[in-house]
């Protein structure tokens, strides 16, 4: 403790100031300087200046009391210790003083120089300890806040790392799944190719051998029959090869959407005329259109889509059946529908309809690679369209394609 200690006595009775001054002068070994004020407001003003080391506060201060003064001063940030001077010596006064912020209290008229010196010394040391504790608490809170922030940042980094690892794991799983699908695709390709190529090649080989036996004019009819068989087999081989080539180009990302503006009705009629010559005997393609005739779509991709759907409609329908092609153009969309009267698709097979090389249970005896609808779906997606279908067993199937309209 410093050799010179400044004390402020706050008491509205000058006689108490004189008594307190005399008691302080009797304290040996210490240098005390006593100031005095009798005003509540002046006392608060002096406390705010923080020039004193300790405050002696009388319980009664005219219209106010010492507890009120201590409470207000502490609330304003006063850190020097307060000692309450009271004429009452009871537990209630003690507790009120402590709650207000006083560090000690003395009963007026009973304390001597030793009691006052001990109380001043104790209060100053106690105040210093409290200040140190508050400082340590503040430092601790700061460190806790800093550690909390560091922990939050560490957690954020960990979460980011976990997210990156999760995304990497997802990518790896996707790559593995794609590799698995590719291996399955290759396996199905080998199986399908060996089967689908064998049949037309056998037809070509056998028909070519038989043709060699027909040498007379009378046998021209038989010879032409086998020539037609060879042409049909070669045509089937071309379709199969085109399907495989289309899948390869799609997988390599070499299929692009290159739209152009054209008359959809004229275009559809050309496709119908071309396909009418290739459908089964007695089958007829009926075309109907509604709305505007001009569209902006990829003409080649659309032709491939229509040829594939119309070919399927003919393939899976009996002779003499009707195939319906309709187009409907609105300001928002271009809608194309292909409807047949064929064998339909079993309900349990419909979820796998667009899977490469998939063949429905009722189509295994009909020639095909199982690639056509997958190619159609991929072409439609490249053109930013959607493909839907409805099918009922032995009643037929309807495919509906919707493209956004930009013309």
Tell me the Ramachandran region of residue 9: left when phi exceeds 0, alpha when psi lies from -120 to 50, beta otherwise: beta
Whole-model pTM: value is 0.49
What's residue 55's pLDDT?
Answer: 94
Query: pLDDT tens digit string along 232-255?
Result: 667 666 666 666 677 777 777 778
What's residue 310's pLDDT?
Answer: 95
Query: pLDDT tens digit string along 156-205?
Result: 988 888 889 898 889 888 888 877 766 666 555 555 555 555 566 666 76
Domains of the chain, first to last: 4-111 (3.40.50.2300), 174-251 (1.10.287.130), 260-404 (3.30.565.10)
Q: Cα dist. 200→188, 229, 231, 315, 367 in Å?
A: 19, 9, 10, 17, 10
Q: Cα-Cα-Cα-Cα dihedral of 258, 260, 266, 269, to 10°? A: 10
Name the packing angle between helices 113-211 and 14-25 (round to 10°): 90
Residue 227 has pLDDT above 60, yes or no: yes
What's residue 97's pLDDT?
Answer: 79
Q: Cα dist. 365→157, 248, 359 in Å?
A: 60, 26, 10
> Percent of the chain beyond pLDDT 90?
42
Query: pLDDT tens digit string along 79-100?
Result: 899 998 987 767 777 788 788 8
What's residue 106's pLDDT?
Answer: 87
What's residue 185's pLDDT?
Answer: 60
What's residue 244's pLDDT?
Answer: 66
- pLDDT-wise least confident of 308-317, 361-370, 383-392: 361-370
Q: Which residues of 398-407 are buried (b: 16+ CB within 10 A; e: fewer)?
A: bbbbbbebee
What's residue 223's pLDDT?
Answer: 74
Mean pLDDT of 264-282: 93
Give the residue with greater pLDDT, 123 vs 401: 401
Give the residue with greater pLDDT, 247 vs 62: 62
With a CB cutoff of 8 Å and minimum separation 6, the contacts of 331 are 292, 405
What's residue 233's pLDDT?
Answer: 65
Question: Mean pLDDT over all residues of the chain?
Answer: 85
Mean pLDDT of 105-134: 87
With a CB cutoff of 8 Å and minimum separation 6, the contacts of 284 are 276, 322, 323
- pLDDT-wise least confident of 136-145, 305-314, 320-329: 136-145
pLDDT interval class at 1 (50, 70, 90):
very low
Query: pLDDT tens digit string along 4-33?
Result: 899 999 998 898 899 999 999 888 877 899
Give the residue with greater pLDDT, 236 vs 262: 262
Mean pLDDT of 294-323: 94
What's residue 402's pLDDT?
Answer: 97
Query: pLDDT tens digit string along 344-356?
Result: 999 998 988 888 8
């Amino acid at each position: 403790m410093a050799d010179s200690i400044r004390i402020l006595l706050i008491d509205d009775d000058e006689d108490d100031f004189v008594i307190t001054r005399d008691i302080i002068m009797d304290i040996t070994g210490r240098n005390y300087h006593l100031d005095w004020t009798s005003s509540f407001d002046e006392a608060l003003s002096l406390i705010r200046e923080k020039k004193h080391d300790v405050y002696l506060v009388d319980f009664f201060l005219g219209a106010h009391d010492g507890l009120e003064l201590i409470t207000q001063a502490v609330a304003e940030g006063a850190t020097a210790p307060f000692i309450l001077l009271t004429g009452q010596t009871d537990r209630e006064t003690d507790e009120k003083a402590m709650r207000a912020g006083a560090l000690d209290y003395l009963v007026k008229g009973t304390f001597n120089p030793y009691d006052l010196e001990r109380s001043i010394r104790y209060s100053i040391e106690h105040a210093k300890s409290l200040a140190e504790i508050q400082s340590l608490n503040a430092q601790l809170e700061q460190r806790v806040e800093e550690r909390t922030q560091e922990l939050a940042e560490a957690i954020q980094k960990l979460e980011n790392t976990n997210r990156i690892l999760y995304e990497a794991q997802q990518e790896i799983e996707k790559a593995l799944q794609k590799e698995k699908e590719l291996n399955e695709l290759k396996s199905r390709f080998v199986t399908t190719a060996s089967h689908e190529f064998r049949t037309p090649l056998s037809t070509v080989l056998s028909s070519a051998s038989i043709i060699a036996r027909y040498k007379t004019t009378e046998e021209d009819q038989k010879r032409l029959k086998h020539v037609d068989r060879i042409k049909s087999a070669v045509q089937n081989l071309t379709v199969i090869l085109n399907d495989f080539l289309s899948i390869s180009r799609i997988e390599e990302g070499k299929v692009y959407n290159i739209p152009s503006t054209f008359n959809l009705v004229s275009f559809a009629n050309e496709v119908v005329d071309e396909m009418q010559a290739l459908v089964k005997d007695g089958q007829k393609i009926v075309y109907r259109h509604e709305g505007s005739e001009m569209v902006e779509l990829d003409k080649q991709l659309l032709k491939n889509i229509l040829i594939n759907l119309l070919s399927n409609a003919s393939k899976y329908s009996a002779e003499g059946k009707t195939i319906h092609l309709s187009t409907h153009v609105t300001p928002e969309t271009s809608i194309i529908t292909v409807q047949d009267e064929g064998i339909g698709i079993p309900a349990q097979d419909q979820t796998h309809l667009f899977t490469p090389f998939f063949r429905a249970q009722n189509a295994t005896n009909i020639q095909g690679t199982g690639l056509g609808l997958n190619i159609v779906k991929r072409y439609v997606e490249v053109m930013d369209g959607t493909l839907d279908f409805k099918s009922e067993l032995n009643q037929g199937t309807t495919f509906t394609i919707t493209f956004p309209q930009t013309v």
